[in-house]
Amino acid sequence: MAKLTIGYKIWLKRGGTELIGPGGIALLKAIAREGSLKSAAESLGMSYVFAWRYLRKLEKRLGKPIVETRRGGERRGATTLTVYGLKLLEIYEKAWTEFEKLSRELKFEI
């Protein structure tokens, strides 16, 4: 008998529209960790422009800002998550934890 496990990806959705998934969450976590959009993007191997455009599109879909940016050039600028951005992370992490727990409890053999 072969053991089967469950694989999954989690997306937060609203009205059937996918808002944010693993890649977007990774970007938000990197911003929280790095305090800089440029550093966050680099740590994930993506361009600053791609990350910036992704965040703008996400904020437009959500209708709320998820990051705050302070301009200032080299070492003086900063990007932080808003309360709403932090809440998105919290919701996603809670969903991830519950799915992880469920996937460990389910055991299948074929």
87/48 Cα distance (integer angstroms): 23
96 CB-near residues (< 8 Å, 6+ apart): 10
> What are the extents of the domains in the chain?
16-109
Provide the pLDDT for residue 106.
Answer: 81
Q: What confidence tens digit (pLDDT) does each residue in 17-51 have?
A: 899 999 999 999 999 999 999 999 999 999 999 99
High-pLDDT (> 90) share of the chain, %: 73
Q: Does domain 16-109 have CATH number 1.10.150.20?
A: no
pLDDT band at 74 (very low <50, low <70, confident <90, very high): low
Q: Tell me if 69 sits within 8 A of 77, measured CB to CB.
A: yes
pLDDT (mean) for 78-96: 96
1 in helix, strand or coil? Answer: coil
- pLDDT of 92 strictly over 80: yes
pTM score, whole prediction: 0.86
pLDDT (mean) for 67-94: 89
94/101 Cα distance (integer angstroms): 11
